[in-house]
Amino acid sequence: MLKVLKSGLFTAVQDIGRYGYLNKGVPVAGFMDGFSAKKANQLLDNDAHAAVLEITMTGPTLLFEEETYISMGGALLSATLNNEPIANYEVIKVNKGDILSYGKLKKGFRNYLAVKGGFKAPLVLGSRSFFSSVTKKNHLVDGDELAYDVCSYFEPKISKLIVDSFLDEIELKVGHGPEYENLSDKQLEMLFGKKFSISNENNRMAYQLEEKIEGLQISMITSATLPGTVQLTPSGKLIVLMKDGQTTGGYPRILQLSDRAISVLAQKKYGDEVRFKLNSQL
């Protein structure tokens, strides 16, 4: 078992997400930064959808009660194993009794801890991802325990990955949302011509951007929304729905982030800047 000695700010089990239930109002949930999580899993030859710990800003302190292998991806969070610094994107042997802890956030916002075979939180509606009202837990608390497979020997195909500049990216590639065609030239100029900063309202449900553009005054009947949908309110507020976002909405859906763009945005915190770039593919 993995014993949670200190849980950190918002540490949760996430996998590739919960699909097939949007029509029942169940969000996808899953890794906020799928790009980083999948690379951490890849190093361990895990399934791409294996459950990892998503660690946000302030990391946990974790005790491994059995031996296994781990790897980390995403944010640089000053991780140490038994007080020795360890790096992202490396396969690391963990022995019985080892303690993994995190320190100062240096870059990014969300770190992903993968374990050989994935964490064995309960499977609910096809996924282990935490989401309140679907799973018993929304995030880990001190004293929690998580099962994982014991692994005494593993020879990775790749023992280290170099992921140089992902956390520095600010460009969000977007496609047209359903209401894109309603945007005026002025609105388009504002949307694509400048940077936007992340407001304090940012979490797994949605990221609200600080700067406003001209609002869009069209009446809408409630319709589906997706992770990565950019909504524009009548007052000009831009809201990017994320993995735990509501499945329907009534605001114009002007843009749709690519999967990678969702991952880029998930590594931004309050005050960081991003820029939308229209993908020529659509």
Q: Where along the sequence are the contacts to another protein (CB under 8 A)?
A: 19-27, 124-125, 132-135, 174-178, 180-181, 219, 221-224, 226, 228-229, 246-249, 253, 256-258, 279, 281-282
Q: Which residue's structure tokens are 């991780």?
A: 79
First to last CA, the chain: 46
Minimum CB distance to another protein smaller for 208 or for 258: 258
Q: Which residue's structure tokens are 């990216």?
A: 169
In whole angstroms, give the CA distance from residue 41 to residue 158. Answer: 11
Minimum CB distance to another protein smaller for 217 or for 281: 281
Q: Minimum distance between the CB of residue 203 and another protein, rounded to whole angstroms?
A: 15
Minimum CB distance to another protein smaller for 81 or for 241: 241
Q: Minimum distance between the CB of residue 124 and another protein, rounded to whole angstroms?
A: 5
Q: Which residue's structure tokens are 């936007």?
A: 196
Minimum CB distance to another protein smaller for 43 or for 265: 265
Q: Using CA of residue 36, residue 41, residue 45, residue 47, what is the dihedral sign?
A: negative
Residues 109/266, Cβ–Cβ less than 8 Å: yes
Alpha-helical regions (H) of the chain? 34-43, 185-192, 259-266
Beta-sheet strands, E only, within 22-67: 52-56, 61-64
Q: Minimum distance between the CB of residue 4 and another protein, rounded to whole angstroms?
A: 23
